[in-house]
Amino acid sequence: NAGVMQNPRHLVRRRGQEARLRCSPMKGHSHVYWYRQLPEEGLKFMVYLQKENIIDESGMPKERFSAEFPKEGPSILRIQQVVRGDSAAYFCASSPPGQGWIYNEQFFGPGTRLTVL
């Protein structure tokens, strides 16, 4: 069973461009979380999605950021008109539906390091 996959691993954008980060959860997982890690910081929650639904976007900046998790295909985190402050590592995590421990463990992808020039 392949782990959580994220691509690209590294992404370089110039100010004003768009960044699209992809996350393919583990097989059978229908819950996806996005986190952002600034240099020398811990991970900060951004958004929690289930298939075709945004459950909690309380950590997402109000402008320029959006996320989706369609019925088919990976989850996408989209950043429009990137600025230098968006440079960070973006992690995706997934968990399966249901109750119990396995529901509460989140499995992380390797992250996408975004650099804005």
Question: Which residues make up the interface to other proteins (CB under 8 A)?
Answer: 31, 33, 35, 40-45, 48, 55-56, 58-59, 89, 91, 93, 95, 101, 103-108, 110-111, 113
Nearer to other proteins, 13 or 31 (CB): 31
Nearer to other proteins, 16 or 28 (CB): 28
How many Å apart are CA 89 and CA 43, to the nearest integer? 9
CB 74 within 8 A of CB 61: no
Write b or e for each residue in 73-87: b if 16 or more Cβ atoms lie within 10 A of its Cβ, otherwise e: ebbbbebeebeeebb
User: CB of residue 15 vs other proteins: minimum separation in angstroms?
Assistant: 24
Q: Is 46 left (phi over 0), alpha (psi -120 to 50) or beta?
A: alpha
User: CB of residue 80 vs other proteins: minimum separation in angstroms?
Assistant: 23
Nearer to other proteins, 17 or 45 (CB): 45
